[in-house]
Every structure is written in structure tokens, then in C-alpha cells.
């Protein structure tokens, strides 16, 4: 049994484009002598299609594409068969949903079997019960002397031996094994997170070992809105050893001989990230590239402050779109340090991106002159010694207006530069630095921002262009500051970032409330301040651009907190 894993990058709703990707994979699999080509979950339509599944025309286009593919596949018995995911329109009944998340097994010019996803996730970013009717059978297909057990993504994430607590009462893989499966196949659209990158292959290997059966897993690759799919498709032997593995963060096609337990294993030189930081950088670049491309933006711009956050976003943008397609804009004010513009210019030169300077001082001064009388009548905040937040935020909003004007005039996608620590605590300005089309590092905590920046500089130091670091050392060394008032630093308002990020990780990803955080050893005053800031900033985050998810709990569709609420935990 020679299997090909077709790790493709489909686009939601691009049926013609997706069909071409699938046909190219079929041709390559046939040339490589594969008996079976396995393609990702919902590869025909792209994943996740969301409410497009409620459109009759969308489903009709998916079914028409599948019929076209069936006519293309394996008309001769020796040709390659194909297993591909698609949204299946179900017969009209008086109960249940009208669509299934399905896989079509195509052989000799026809669909010989349709297998449906049994476990439909509703946690985090997933909402599949909203659309799909679950499968209830053990989908085992007889194929050329082999009984192949077909499962779809979540179906394989419920092994009772691997998970200390199972989310579902049934295990579809156990059902396949009891039905006589000799090979387990799982087609997936499994999004990347830094934790899952390590967890997923461990889980798949454990499943193969538990049942003593070879296992083939194929994953989608590419960015779709806030999600990044990392690929990393693999085939495991019955003992859980990797016998084939596709690249991370790139389309690929790999072959495996299940009986001989041999196959293609991509090396680091072929796209494998050696560290978690390298993987995160590749995920962010891929997510930025595909989001911009699919939204019709070949070019991007961002504000370059001379700080670490905008430097990281600029590096990611240059990697994703090419340096000549990126514009950095420095927007100094009366409070900007001399090094801010110097560091921003040095970064732009090092990256080879375009660079402009637009002072905000004339606009800011005009605002203050016009608003001064009204500010005087309204008075200052009642808290003695409180900063003048209205004037500070005016500067951020002037910068946001400048960047949006340049975006409109040049047709560039505006990338925001706020990190997860700032966005979590509301240390950001609505309609100011939050204005834009994609929040590239909104799921990157500040401590990780520094690690990613040093990884970028380390890559330059180890590469052929050794010399000046990409990101100036002065940017890495200076105290983080929004530079909205004299001598301002982030730590005037926030705890040290190592402490803040530890509290946020426990609160946001582990779900620990205030009492649990204090019991875990975090200072009560810091806990109270951070949790309060997170709660009060929910309304801001609802209005920010989509952000790329790389951790277990990102701000976006996977976090569903009420804005108006009285819970203080």
C-alpha cells in the first residue's frame, strides 16, 4: 500500500482554484505510483467555510466540483484512488442538519464511499454543531485487499488512553478498529498553536501504538482569517514511529509505503522549524501572507516607532510579502526620543523596506488648540496625578488616521503592532494603534516578542549576510514606551512583563480566576489590577482587527466573554 499525502492550501469558496490544487496533487501522486492520495478535511470548499454552509449555491458548487473530480480520478484499476473532504448536502428530512462534514472515497471514476465526521467540536474557535449532522457509523472502506478506516480531524482526538479526561463519550477510532480496520486514515484541518505542534504528533503516535495499526494523517496548510494551518502531515507505523512527514507551513506531497514502513521524511533544511520560536515566526509569516493575498492586498504598511513590537511586525511582513512590498512610517511627536526615528530608519534599511517620516506635531497641536477650551470646561479626571489620557490617546489616533490615509491612497493593508500583553490589559488605543486590517502579533505575549526578535537576529548572525543585526540592539535594550508623555515607560502602568505574562497565561489559557491566581503565588495587588484590566478592556478587543492565533487561547472567535457583566473573579 503506497500512500500519498496531499498537503494543500485551499481557499474558502475558491472551488475552481481548489479543484486545480487537487488535480495537481492527483497528477503528482499518480506519477509517484501511489495507490491512494489522501487530501485534507473540506479540501473541496476550504476550511472553515462557516455560514457559507447555509448558502444553497455554495453547497451546489461543492457537489459539482466533487463530481468533476470523480470523473478525473483513477478510471483504470491501476490508477490512484483519492480520499478528499467536502461538505455533503444531506437528503431533506424533518430533523437534523442538512450538511455533513464528509470525505469522499473516489476510485475508478466514481465516489465509492462517503464517510462522515462523528465528533463535532464546539470549543475554542470551532463551532461545527452549528452546521453539521454527525456521522454515526464505522466508516471502513474495502480498497484493493485492505480495510481502511476513515476518520475526520476531531474523530481522532478522543483516545481514552492518551487524554486524562475525554471530551466525548465515544471514540470513533475504537469503533473503526472493532469494525476491522487495518489502516487508520485521518483527514484534518487542524490549526497551529505552539503547544499543539508538539502535542499532536505525540497523540497520533500513541493512537497508532494503542491499536497496533499504521496511521496516516493529512493536514491542511495555509492561513485562513485568524487561523494558521501548519501542515506537518505524517504517516506512523503500527509501533508509532514516523515513517513519513511533510513540511511545516508549506504545501507538500509525501509518499509512504505502509507495508515496508518507509517514506519521505522532510528535514529541517526542507522547511522543518528547529525551535518553537522559529515555528511561531513561520506561522505568523504564513498567516500574514495568505490573509493579505486572499483579501486582495499585495502590499502592506505599518507604523514604525523604533520599538520592539513594530520591529517584529515589520520583519514578519517583509518575510511574508517581500521587502519591496512593505512600507514603514515613522510618526514622531514632541515626546519621541531621538533614537526612535534613528532605530526605525535603521530597521527599514536593514530589511530593505520603504520608509517615510510624517510628523504628527502639526495635527496634534491643531487638535489641542481646538479642543483646549472644551477640555478646560470639562476639567481633568477626578484622580489626582492621573495622566492626561485624552491627550495621550489623541496622539495615537492622529497616527491611526495618518496610516489609514496612506493605506487608502496606496492600496496597502495596514498591519497593527499591538502585542497580546498590551491588548489583554487595554494598554492600546481604540481607533488609534488598534486601527488596521490585521493584528499580526495580537496573540504574541511581550516576553515572546523579545524571544522572536532575538531569533530573527540570530538567524541573520548565522546566515550568509552576517553583520549588523536586523533589529537594532538599541531597540532590544531600551525600556518599552508608548512615548505619549515625557519619560514614559510601559512599566509606569503595567507590572514587569515577565510577571504580567505569567499572570495572563494562567488567567486566559488556564482559566484561573483571582483567588486561584493568588493561591498560585501571584501578588494579590498585581492579580487584582491585571484581572480588572482584562475585564474592562473586552469592549476594545471586540473592535480590533482579526489577529493570528498561535497560542491555546487567543483574543478572537475562540474567546466568548460578555462585555457587560458583573463577575469580578
Residues that are catalytic: 41, 117, 153
What CA–CA distance (Å, rounded) separates 234 from 512?
35
How far does CA 27 lie from the centroid of its chain? 30
Given the DSSP bridges, would you call strands 110-116 and 99-107 parallel, antiparallel or unpaired? antiparallel
C-alpha to C-alpha distance for 120 and 97, rounded to whole angstroms: 13
Q: Are 38 and 187 in contact (CB under 8 A)?
A: yes
Query: Is residue 251 within 8 Å of residue 220, measured between CB atoms?
Result: no
Q: Collapse the DSSP code of 438 into the 3-class scheme (helix H, G, I; strand E, B; otherwise coil) and give the result.
A: strand
DSSP codes, 383-428: STT---HHHHHHHHHHHHHHHHHHHHHHTPEEEE---HHHHHHT-S
DSSP 35: S
Cis-peptide into 48, omega within 30 deg = yes
Round the CA-based radius of gyration of the chain to a whole number and report it: 26
In a 3-state reduction of DSSP, which class is residue 483?
coil
Q: Which residues of 285-299 are buried (b: 16+ CB within 10 A; e: fewer)?
A: bbbbbbbbbbeebeb
3-state SS string over 377-395? HHCCCCCCCCCCHHHHHHH
- Asked if residue 45 lies in contact with residue 18, where contact means CB atoms within 8 angstroms, the answer is yes
Query: Which residues, listed in sequence order, are joined to residue 357 by a DSSP beta bridge?
Result: 330
Report the alpha-carbon distance of residue 65 to residue 264 in Å, rounded.
30
Q: Is the CB of residue 21 less than 8 Å from the CB of residue 8?
A: yes
- CA–CA distance from 195 to each of 198, 202, 277, 545, 551 (Å)? 6, 11, 12, 24, 7
Mapped onto helix, strand or coil, the DSSP state of residue 561 is: coil
CA dihedral of 41, 46, 50, 56, whole degrees rounded to 10: -100
CA distance 315 to 185: 38
Answer yes or no: are the C-beta atoms of 151 and 184 closer than 8 Å: yes
Rounded to whole angstroms, the Cα distance separating 363 from 374 reads 17
Bridge partners for 244 per DSSP: 235
CA angle (184, 190, 192) in 5-degree steps: 135
- As given in the structure block, the three cell numbers for residue 278 are 522559529
Q: How far apart are CA 356 and CA 342, in angstroms?
A: 12
Amino acid at each position: 500500500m503506497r500512500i500519498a499525502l496531499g498537503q494543500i492550501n485551499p481557499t474558502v469558496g475558491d472551488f475552481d482554484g481548489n479543484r486545480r490544487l487537487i488535480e495537481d496533487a492527483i497528477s503528482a501522486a499518480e506519477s509517484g505510483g501511489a495507490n491512494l492520495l489522501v487530501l485534507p478535511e473540506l479540501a473541496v470548499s476550504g476550511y472553515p467555510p462557516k455560514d457559507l454552509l447555509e448558502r444553497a449555491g455554495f453547497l451546489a458548487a461543492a457537489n459539482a466540483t466533487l463530481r468533476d473530480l470523480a470523473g478525473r480520478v483513477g478510471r483504470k484499476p491501476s490508477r490512484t484512488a483519492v480520499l478528499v473532504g467536502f461538505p455533503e448536502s444531506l437528503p431533506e428530512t424533518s430533523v437534523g442538519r442538512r450538511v455533513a462534514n464528509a470525505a469522499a472515497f473516489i476510485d475508478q471514476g466514481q465516489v465509492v464511499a462517503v464517510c462522515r465526521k462523528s465528533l463535532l467540536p464546539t470549543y475554542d474557535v470551532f463551532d461545527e454543531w452549528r452546521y453539521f449532522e454527525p456521522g454515526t457509523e464505522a466508516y471502513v472502506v474495502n480498497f484493493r485487499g485492505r480495510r481502511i478506516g476513515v476518520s475526520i480531524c476531531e474523530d481522532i482526538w478522543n483516545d481514552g488512553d492518551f487524554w486524562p479526561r475525554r471530551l466525548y463519550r465515544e471514540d470513533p477510532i475504537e469503533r473503526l478498529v472493532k469494525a476491522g480496520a487495518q489502516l487508520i486514515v485521518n483527514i484534518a484541518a487542524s490549526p497551529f498553536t505552539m503547544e499543539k505542534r508538539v502535542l499532536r504528533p505525540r497523540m497520533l503516535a500513541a493512537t497508532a501504538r494503542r491499536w497496533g495499526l499504521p496511521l496516516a494523517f493529512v493536514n491542511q496548510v495555509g492561513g485562513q482569517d485568524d487561523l494558521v494551518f501548519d501542515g506537518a502531515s505524517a504517516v506512523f507505523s503500527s509501533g508509532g514511529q514516523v515513517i513519513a512527514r511533510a513540511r511545516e507551513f508549506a504545501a507538500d506531497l509525501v509518499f509512504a509505503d505502509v507495508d515496508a514502513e518507509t517514506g519521505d521524511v522532510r528535514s529541517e533544511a526542507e522547511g522543518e522549524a528547529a525551535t518553537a520560536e522559529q515555528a511561531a515566526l513561520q506561522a505568523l509569516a504564513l498567516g500574514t501572507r495568505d490573509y493579505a493575498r486572499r483579501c486582495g492586498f499585495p502590499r502592506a504598511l505599518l507604523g514604525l516607532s523604533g520599538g520592539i513590537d513594530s520591529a517584529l511586525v515589520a520583519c514578519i511582513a517583509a518575510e511574508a510579502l517581500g521587502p519591496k512590498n512593505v512600507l514603514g512610517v515613522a510618526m514622531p511627536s514632541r515626546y519621541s526620543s531621538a533614537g526612535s526615528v534613528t532605530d526605525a530608519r535603521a530597521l527599514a534599511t536593514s530589511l530593505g523596506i520603504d520608509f517615510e517620516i510624517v510628523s504628527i506635531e502639526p495635527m496634534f497641536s491643531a487638535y489641542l488648540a481646538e479642543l483646549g477650551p472644551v477640555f478646560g470646561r470639562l476639567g481633568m479626571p477626578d484622580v489626582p496625578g492621573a495622566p492626561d489620557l485624552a491627550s495621550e490617546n489623541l496622539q495615537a489616533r492622529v497616527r491611526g488616521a495618518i496610516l489609514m490615509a496612506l493605506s487608502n491612497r496606496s492600496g496597502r493593508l495596514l498591519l497593527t503592532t499591538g502585542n497580546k500583553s498590551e491588548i489583554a490589559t487595554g494598554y492600546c488605543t481604540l481607533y488609534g494603534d488598534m486601527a488596521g486590517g490585521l493584528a499580526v502579533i495580537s496573540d504574541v505575549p511581550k516576553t515572546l516578542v523579545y524571544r522572536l526578535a532575538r531569533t530573527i537576529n540570530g538567524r541573520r548572525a548565522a546566515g550568509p549576510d552576517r553583520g549588523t543585526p536586523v533589529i537594532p540592539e538599541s531597540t532590544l535594550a531600551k525600556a518599552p514606551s508608548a512615548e505619549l508623555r515625557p519619560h514614559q515607560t510601559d512599566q509606569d502602568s503595567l507590572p514587569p512583563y515577565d510577571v504580567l505574562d505569567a499572570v495572563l497565561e494562567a488567567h486566559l489559557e488556564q482559566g484561573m480566576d483571582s483567588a486561584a491566581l493568588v493561591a498560585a503565588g501571584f501578588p494579590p495587588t498585581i492579580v487584582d489590577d491585571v484581572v480588572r484590566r482584562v475585564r474592562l478592556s473586552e469592549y476594545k478587543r471586540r473592535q480590533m482587527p482579526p489577529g493570528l492565533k498561535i497560542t491555546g487561547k487567543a483574543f478572537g472567535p475562540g474567546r466568548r466573554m460578555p462585555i457587560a457583566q458583573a463577575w469580578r473573579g
